[in-house]
Amino acid sequence: MSSSRKPNSKAARMTGSSNDALNEWVSLVARQYGGRAYPGARGPILKVGSVEWEQTGLPPEMLVAYEPASGDEWHHRIRVAEQTATRAITARPYSFCVAVNSKSRPAPSSSPVQVLRLALGVTATAGRVSFSRLTLYHIHPWDVVSIVEGDDDLFACSLTPAEFQANQDASLSNRVQKLTEAAAKIRQELRQRPVIAESWEEQKRGVQIEMRLLNFLYFDPEYQTRLLNGLELRPFVGDSAVQAEYQRRLSNIVDRHKLSIQLWPVSLGLILCHATDRRTKKGRTISLPFALLDI
């Protein structure tokens, strides 16, 4: 779905650092998938032909525009900048501000809202590593926070660039803080999930077995007179060297089996759209153009 609206001149004047960040990101994605990226007049061109790239459903050659001018260009830009991040994490999350276009006039029962959308990649390590995705929303001015496990339909919407003066909205930092607090809370809840708890119990048994084997090796009289692996650990000598080697191996066992839940910020977007708020005896449902949220 495309839009004929052209971005205004102010929105089109992106800073060099923003363009550089996108160029850097596209180059990283290209390397991750065995392709290459080269500069274009409107943004970097990504060219990839690997099997892994085909599985994403994206074309083998595509423009990642600095200023998308159509729905397809927005689709490609957001997917490259956001969805591939779960496979090629960097320390720099992607940010954007867009308005959702509607074919028809908004319903009388709907209201204009600002949706602050935080996409997170989740890495859970409890012996085995698993990956998942969380999407967090703060809806202003209703001051509602909601969390969805998985993705939404934002990429299927018709989008146009939007302007937002963050320094003129004192509530923005508040809203970001609320999303951060919600992310910290869900991180703690994930540790209690049955699949994570069961895997952790298995790992504790593995730790106990490895520690028994290590202790047997360490306390066996045959090994008390030399290093466990025959390695020299200066400045330690004799029993001190053996003790240092034992502590290092013990630490390696614990680190390898420890439970870890990591949340990776993938993108932060401000979305201008209309939403419907329905309240019934069963609860509250907020309908966005790209997600249905049960509160």
- Are residue 40 and residue 158 in the same domain, yes or no? no
- For residue 288, count CB atoms less than 10 angstroms from its CB and return exposed for 0-12, middle for 13-18, buried for 19 or more: buried
Which of 92, 121, 142 represents a domain boundary (last residue)?
92
Contact status, residue 52 vs residue 34, Cβ threshold 8 Å? yes
212 domain-assigned: yes
- Are residue 71 and residue 216 in the same domain, yes or no? no
- Per-residue pLDDT at 4: 35
Which of 92, 114, 131 represents a domain boundary (last residue)?
92
3 domain-assigned: no
- Are residue 218 and residue 271 in the same domain, yes or no? yes
- Are residue 20 and residue 79 in the same domain, yes or no? yes
H or E element at residue 24: helix 16-32
Which of 34, 64, 92 represents a domain boundary (last residue)?
92
99 domain-assigned: yes
Contact status, residue 48 vs residue 35, Cβ threshold 8 Å? yes
- Are residue 280 and residue 147 in the same domain, yes or no? yes
- Are residue 115 and residue 86 in the same domain, yes or no? no
50 domain-assigned: yes
From CA 224, how far away is CA 243, in angstroms rounded?
A: 10
- Are residue 76 and residue 138 in the same domain, yes or no? no
- Per-residue pLDDT at 210: 80
5 domain-assigned: no
- Per-residue pLDDT at 276: 94
**Total structural domains within the chain:** 2
- Are residue 179 and residue 82 in the same domain, yes or no? no
- Per-residue pLDDT reduced to its tens digit, 41-86: 999 999 988 877 887 788 899 998 888 888 778 778 777 766 554 4
4 domain-assigned: no
- Are residue 48 and residue 167 in the same domain, yes or no? no
- Per-residue pLDDT at 9: 37
- Are residue 109 and residue 199 in the same domain, yes or no? yes
- Are residue 58 and residue 121 in the same domain, yes or no? no
18 domain-assigned: yes
- Are residue 173 and residue 262 in the same domain, yes or no? yes
Residue 27: which domain range?
Answer: 10-92
From CA 137, how far away is CA 147, in angstroms rounded?
A: 6
Q: Which residues of the chain have pLDDT under 70?
A: 1-18, 81-94, 126-131, 165-169, 195-197, 199-200, 220-239
1 domain-assigned: no
From CA 97, how far away is CA 231, in angstroms rounded?
A: 57
Q: Which residues, at least 6 apart from 169, have a Cβ–Cβ distance to it below 8 Å?
A: none
- Per-residue pLDDT at 65: 87
